[in-house]
Amino acid sequence: MSHKSDLIATDIDAYLRQHEEKELLRFLTCGSVDDGKSTLIGRLLYDTKMIYEDHLAALRADSLQHGTTGDDFDPALLTDGLKAEREQGITIDVAYRYFSTARRKFIIADTPGHEQYTRNMATGASTCDLAVILIDARHGVLTQTRRHTFIVSLLGIRHVVVTVNKMDLVDFSQEVFEKIRDDYRDFTTRLDLPDLHFIPISALKGDNVVDPSPHMPWYQGPTLMHFLETVYIGSDRNLEDFRFPVQWVNRPHLDFRGYCGTIASGIIRRGEEVMVLPSRRTSRVKSIVTMDGELKEAFTPQAVTLTLEDEIDISRGDMIVRPGNLPRIDDTFESVIVWMHQDQLVPGRPYWFKHGTTMVPGTVRRLRYRVDVNTLHRTPAATLKLNEIGRCTVNLNQPIAFDDYRRNRSTGAFIVIDRITNATVGAGMIMDRRTAEESGDHWEAAQSPSLHTTASPVSETERESRFGQRAATLLLTGLTGSGKTTIAFALERFLFDHGHAVTVLDGQNLRGGISRDLGFTAEDRSENIRRGAEVAKLINDSGLICVCAFVAPEEEVRQRAKKVIGEDRFFVIHLDAPEDVRRSRDAHGLYRRADEGEIANFPGVSAPYQPPPEPDLHLRTDQLNVNQCVAKIVELLKRQGIIDPSL
């Protein structure tokens, strides 16, 4: 399982190239104290032969003095390097270890389990792709297990493997393992853990760590090592949204000015147009410079130097992005904060907020609630204490460019720094949404108690029988010029000609009537979609198919519309075309006016557009004509049982 290779003896350069090109997986071990985190890592390194003989001999000697395994080798001592850790048999600080196998390279963060060191666990988890959460088979799911799981979910770690450890102390009982698995699943039903796995192990004895255990024939899944080597992380990085926070302006001589930094997300190519925030000046990438020479393209998380064709005033803290894909720029945002200091969070007190390469003064304007990690219930709170987690509204002294943390961990995270002691007191994750109170919209507004809805005497089944169709709403979303309105009305004509009851709800037409009072800010666009969703729901309740043509630039708003209309009735169709094609179709000159600053908050130019991550249908309208697009949408309706498949 180690990284040994015959190439070491025959071709060392080939071996080094092979080793360099291996995929890197960063993972952490976490869980309650004494669940065996350090022991598990020591066992992984020992069984993969990643410990030098002299180091192993020293560890065997230390095991007699500090170890908790009698005369046996104690694997935990490999990562518990502090004297206090060895004396107490606990982990205090985050310990990082590196090892590799023939398939992958690994960086492990061994995080502490004690409650007072939860801040260390959050620090270790912030850069990881995967979390290994240990549970002592004798004790089951504990408070600290829940706390660490909640933090893992908050930090957006997609891959989680729960290892039920010390199975040797419960006679390798399948019943014990399954009970812990079910308890853990019950707790995580409200958390965002998309890739969750369970493995029974004995870290001390090595069962199911690297090799399958002969003591648990009832478990047929992979060993922990096999899972770590094969888990797919290629799709975890955001390659869509180009974000380049400038860390340093490199000016070695008169003929070179480069902007250095690490690509937070996305891909950049030589010759592509870019925009600098906050100035909104545009240019093109002249070159992409690295220590190994110039590149034609670069991608996250490479550290590069960009040079531009134009002389633009750019300094540390600015962000380089694509003009048609902008982050949100604001001085107020919602966030979840993990408090990491003995001194309590004080709303209204000035702090420094470090976001990427930018340091901005600001305050936590409001603490909305504290999260109980045991029950996940939200409780009112006036402050946050050490290791507590709360939903906060942050107000900065100047705007910053950011993304939702779930979409971009680099541009959606920040730390809170005490302005007097300069100590890091909190870590936050930005939620790119506003509350109903702040935005003035009505998504969450409660219905007046004096109002009562009345059900129609005509049932849904009767309407389906009369019209020969199921009611549905099709949201055609895309940037201006992608063909939404044209395709919507072509689809309406086709369905109407074939005997279906259908109508089009166009965003522009809606603004000429019930949305006449709305502008084009993010809040007003959200309200326009809300009104459209309510109208579409009434149309669906009448048994009709509603085709909606809206830009609908925000994914959160699209999801809220889906809840209003109903998940079984709502389908998203993403219409997509390159920028030059979209601009060529712009008969009203909207793009030109947006470029010149006449139109503010224009998606694709001066406001962001978030492509649907999982649309029901994705149509490239530069590659398909109108009739072909209509045909593909009709096929979708047939597959979903909305219309007769024989049509």
Interhelix angle 555-565/522-541, nearest 10 degrees: 20
Q: Which residues contact 499 (CB under 8 A, 6 or more apart)?
A: 468
Q: DSSP letter at 85?
A: H
The string of pLDDT tens digits covering residues 289-321 is 998 889 999 998 899 999 999 989 999 999 999
> If you average pLDDT over residues 369-381, what whole number do you get?
79
Strands 570-576 and 617-620: parallel
Residue 17 CA to its chain's centroid (Å) = 32
The answer to whether residues 549 and 484 touch, using CB atoms and an 8 Å cutoff, is yes
| Band (442; pLDDT cuts 50, 70, 90) | low
Residue 536 CA to its chain's centroid (Å) = 30
Note the pLDDT of residue 93: 47
Q: How far apart are CA 353 and CA 511, in angstroms?
A: 39
| Band (177; pLDDT cuts 50, 70, 90) | very high
Residue 69 has pLDDT above 70, yes or no: no
Q: How far apart are CA 391 and CA 454, in angstroms?
A: 37
Q: How far apart are CA 454 and CA 42, in angstroms?
A: 66
Cα–Cα distances (Å) from 415 to 93, 258, 341, in that order, read 19, 27, 12
Q: Which residues contact 395 (CB under 8 A, 6 or more apart)?
A: 331, 332, 362, 363, 364, 365
The answer to whether residues 158 and 123 touch, using CB atoms and an 8 Å cutoff, is no
The string of pLDDT tens digits covering residues 183-212 is 999 888 878 888 899 999 998 888 999 889
Q: How far apart are CA 193 and CA 219, in angstroms?
A: 22
What one-character-per-residue DSSP string does 39-69 give? HHHHHHHHHTT-S-HHHHHHHHHHHHHH-SS
Task: Name the burial class of residue 19, with classes exposed (0-12), middle (13-18) and buried (19+) by CB atoms within 10 angstroms of its CB.
Answer: middle
CB atoms within 10 A of CB 464: 13
Exposure string of 447-461, with b = 16+ CB inside 10 Å and e = fewer, is eeeeeeeeeeeeeee
> If you average pLDDT over residues 521-530, what whole number do you get?
84
The string of pLDDT tens digits covering residues 154-167 is 888 889 999 999 99
Using DSSP's 3-state secondary structure scheme, residue 217 falls into: coil
Q: Maximum CA pair distance of the chain?
A: 86
What one-character-per-residue DSSP string does 357-390 give? TEEEEEEEEEEEEEE-TTT--EE--S---TT-EE
Residue 490 has pLDDT above 90, yes or no: yes
Q: DSSP letter at 284?
A: E
Note the pLDDT of residue 593: 83
Cα–Cα distances (Å) from 463 to 109, 384, 557, in that order, read 59, 54, 29
CB atoms within 10 A of CB 226: 17
> If you average pLDDT over residues 579-603, what whole number do you get?
84
310, 327, 320, 325: which is closest to 274 by C-alpha?
A: 320
Note the pLDDT of residue 56: 57
Residue type, 330: D
To which residue do tokens 């998940």 refer?
567
Q: How far apart are CA 578 and CA 584, in angstroms?
A: 10
What is the distance in angstroms between the CA of the first residue and the CA of the last residue of the chain? 58
Note the pLDDT of residue 43: 79
**Lowest model confidence (mean pLDDT) among 207-216, 344-353, 371-380, 425-434:** 371-380
pTM over 0.85: no
342, 355, 367, 366: which is closest to 421 by C-alpha?
A: 342
The string of pLDDT tens digits covering residues 324-344 is 888 988 889 999 998 988 899
Q: How far apart are CA 98 and CA 173, in angstroms?
A: 33
Is the preceding omega at residue 612 within 30 degrees of 0, hence cis? no
Average pLDDT over all residues of the chain: 84
What structural domains does the chain harbor? 7-230 (3.40.50.300), 243-321 (2.40.30.10), 328-438 (2.40.30.10), 462-639 (3.40.50.300)
Strands 256-262 and 248-253: antiparallel
- Helix or strand run (H / E) with residue 304: strand 303-308
**Lowest model confidence (mean pLDDT) among 48-52, 102-106, 257-261, 381-385:** 48-52
> If you average pLDDT over residues 559-575, what whole number do you get?
93
Q: In what order do the strands lie in the sheet with 95-100?
A: 95-100, 104-110, 23-31, 130-136, 159-165, 195-200
Q: How far apart are CA 165 and CA 163, in angstroms?
A: 6
- Helix or strand run (H / E) with residue 261: strand 256-262
β-strand partners of 394: 333, 364
- Helix or strand run (H / E) with residue 8: helix 7-10
**What does the block give as tokens for 212?**
């399958």
Note the pLDDT of residue 438: 45
Residue type, 479: L
- Residue ranges of alpha helices (H) inside 473-565 are 484-497, 507-511, 522-541, 555-565
Residue 153 has pLDDT above 70, yes or no: yes
**What does the block give as tokens for 646?**
């024989």
Note the pLDDT of residue 68: 52
The answer to whether residues 274 and 255 touch, using CB atoms and an 8 Å cutoff, is no
Using DSSP's 3-state secondary structure scheme, residue 279 falls into: coil
Residue 474 has pLDDT above 80, yes or no: yes
β-strand partners of 29: 110, 132
Residue type, 274: V
576, 562, 556, 564: which is closest to 624 by C-alpha?
A: 576
